[in-house]
Amino acid sequence: MTYSRAILGDNQFLGVNHADQAKAAILFERFKNPDAILEVIGAAYDAGVRDFMFTTHDRYDAVFDEIRRSNLFPKLQYTPCIPYAHKYWSRLSSQSLPQVVGSLAMQINPLRILGSGFAMLAGRPNGLIPLLVEIEALMCKGLPVRGVFLQNVAFDLLMAIGAHRELEAFADTVERRLKALPGFITMNHPKAVEVLCDHIGMAKPWLCANYNLGGFRMNPFKDTVEASFASRRSKNIAMSVFSSGAAGVQSSLEYVVSNVGQRGGVDALLFGSSSSRHIESNVRTILEATE
Amino acid sequence: MSFCVVGGGKMGLSHLALITAYVGKANVILVERKRSVRFVFKMMGYKTFAGLDAVVTKLGKPQGIIIATPTSAHAVLSEWAIANRVPFFVEKPLTLDAERSASLVRQAKDAGVLAQTGFVMRYVATFQRLRALIEGGRLGHLHKYRASMRGNVMIKPPNPENWQGDFKRGGGALNEYGPHIIDLCRFIFGDVTEVTHAKYGMVLSSKADDWVNLDWRHDSAVEGSLQINWGDTSKRKSVIEIEAEFEHARVRVDNSAVEIVFSDDAPLDAETRADLNYSAQPPNVGFYLRGEEFSLEMEDFLGACLGRSLHIDPNLPEGVTPTLDDGYAVDQLIDDIARKAGLK
């Protein structure tokens, strides 16, 4: 199992825009309506997109209900990116870390927390991970799940504190229990390759990281991230492909597309747009690229 | 080498993870009173202690401490750092009492202890760009500005037990959002001379402000209006926006974008306009966790403690690092605003 080259992302649906907060606020309002989201996914599907990668925001509950009910987009594969960090991060202002974890685990099955609790007490905090992954993946029940990615806020944090057992437990849960591809979103691609491949021993993990002409959020440096992609030690999804300062949309996209495959190590491109027309033209450019 | 993070809550976790990426887990210690929190971090492989004195007894004096506790503990912990001659980073706001903050500034100066406050918004590239536009002078005289910080922290009535909904204990929009935007306005527009008007309102809270509007004047005679609101459900996360009116342009800045609209009669040629209009891309950082700004403030603090730069981007502006004096100035302004608005 692998990803198709063009993956539809969801920043537009949640009002995330790295360059324009005013536009972000308008999109946040517009996509409160599930039909508006379905329309954009439909345009991407018609253009040939077969993967949708999204954060587990409750905004999608109604969208997925409708997809299941009306059997829409039969060949589309889903990749939840977990956790939707904002909801947990804001809880941490008023609750301690153990309290937040405990209340989360109660959502799925109060009995399950016993096993995880014992694992914690026995010094295996990774025992909680399967539980947390399953809670987050609940919204995709009944939909074909291609993979489950750990959000960069969670992954980069776990990587920073050296929580290698927890990262392994995540990958293991996604592979064994959910029969899907585990993946990691990161803003520190070279460090992620080092930790996952050298320290944990994963073979070619799926990584999703910024890759763009302007070097936006390519840490520590644009050229080290490019080299890290090109090393082919990981399978790579390029994101923030249009965040390129003064460069135009077409040249930004062409730069990333020119690095697909052996040339630059880009396996797939994650992109989003709120406009059907832009989606169609972007998908055409991405799918026409040759390795 | 060892660094202590005091407080295992949200900001403590963020700082602890970030500094671990820079100095390694073996050199990071968590100090936290709650046993359950210490337990979690201990399982993650961190050395944990219930208090700073125990750290010194067991491991010797740390090279720096990061204070990320609830605000009420900031003063005592800062005083510990000063008395023990340990460099410290203290989260915003410095304290809940401007006089106590002034005393901390004096004590730290007398003892010659390095201190940094957690005004992280200064490190955001777009706000630094607005500051540079004012300093550069090419847009002409700055007339006035409007600034706002809005977010959706308060979307249901706060738990009466929780400090967040109690102004006296450091809760409310002015205490929570105020330090960020107040410091940012001082950073960009200079010191404030006088708060001329302030008003607050309660929407969901009963013991704290949910919004505060105010007007003030800077030493430069520039006048600014601020809106602080932590219960704006149209926002996905907190956003700061500033609109500044210059002689030759109107500039709108938020956390990620700078937009310059030149006035019709602006005496600036196309080349100058293009030069001024370049986008403000965030700098590269050694390790990214929640935003470049969080990495940069920790790079600043750790670098100052270690006596070598940890920045990897060669083009960072000078004079950004917030000091203890800035912490005091902001606390004094919060006090002025609270009195003017009738919160005190």
If asked whether residues B32 and B162 sit together in one domain, one would say no
Convert the pLDDT of each residue in B49-87 to its tens digit. Answer: 999 999 999 999 999 999 999 999 999 999 999 999 999
Q: Which residue in A16, A25, A217 is closest to B234 by CB distance?
A: A25
The A residues from 232 to 271 touching B (CB cutoff 8 Å) are 245-246
Convert the pLDDT of each residue in A79-120 to its tens digit. Answer: 999 887 666 666 666 677 677 766 666 665 555 555 555 565
Shortest distance, CA B187 to any CA of chain A (angstroms):
22
Is the model more confident about A23 or about A107?
A: A23
If asked whether residues B111 and B155 sit together in one domain, one would say no
Domain ranges, ordered by start, for chain A: 6-288
Convert the pLDDT of each residue in A121-173 to its tens digit. Answer: 565 656 667 777 777 777 788 899 999 999 999 999 999 999 999 899 999 98
Contact B40 A125 (CB under 8 A): yes
Q: Name the E strands within B132-171.
A: 142-150
Q: What confidence score (pLDDT) does residue A121 get?
A: 55
Tokens of B261: 């609209």
Residue B200 lies in a domain: yes
| Average pLDDT value for chain B | 95
Task: Decide if A63 contacts A34 (C-beta within 8 A).
Answer: yes
Q: Which residue segment(s) compose the domain that B178 sits in?
A: 121-281+324-341
| Average pLDDT value for chain A | 86
Residue B295 lies in a domain: no
Contact B162 A161 (CB under 8 A): no
If asked whether residues B109 and B140 sit together in one domain, one would say no
Strand-pairing partners, residue B152, are: B231
Q: What confidence score (pLDDT) does residue B160 get?
A: 83
Task: Decide if B77 contacts B6 (C-beta within 8 A).
Answer: yes
Min mean pLDDT across A90-104, B111-125, B305-319 is at: A90-104
A6-288 is a CATH 3.40.30.10 domain: no
| Cβ atoms within 10 Å, residue B173 | 28
If asked whether residues B210 and B133 sit together in one domain, one would say yes
Q: Indicate the pTM of the whole model.
A: 0.91
Distance CA B158, CA B164 (A): 7
Final residue of a domain: which of B105, B120, B135?
A: B120
Final residue of a domain: which of B100, B120, B140?
A: B120
Closest residue of chain A to B283, computed from CA coordinates: A217
Residue B61 lies in a domain: yes
Residue B297 lies in a domain: no
Residue B299 lies in a domain: no
Distance CA A103, CA A110 (A): 10
Q: What confidence score (pLDDT) does residue A18 get?
A: 65
If asked whether residues B38 and B141 sit together in one domain, one would say no
Provide the CATH number for the domain around residue B62: 3.40.50.720
Q: What confidence score (pLDDT) does residue A72 get?
A: 95
Which positions in chain B touch A120 (Cβ < 8 Å)? 43
Helix (H) or strand (E) holding B211: strand B211-218
If asked whether residues B333 and B188 sit together in one domain, one would say yes
Is the model more confident about B254 or about A104?
A: B254
SS3 content of chain B, % helix, strand, coil (to 5): 40, 25, 35
If asked whether residues B114 and B141 sit together in one domain, one would say no
- What total of structural domains would you count in chain B? 2
Final residue of a domain: which of B69, B91, B120?
A: B120
Helices assigned H by DSSP within A48-111 = 60-70, 85-91, 97-105
Optimal mutation site among A12, A157, A185, A243, interface B, most CBs of chain B within 10 A: A157
Provide the CATH number for the domain around residue B160: 3.30.360.10
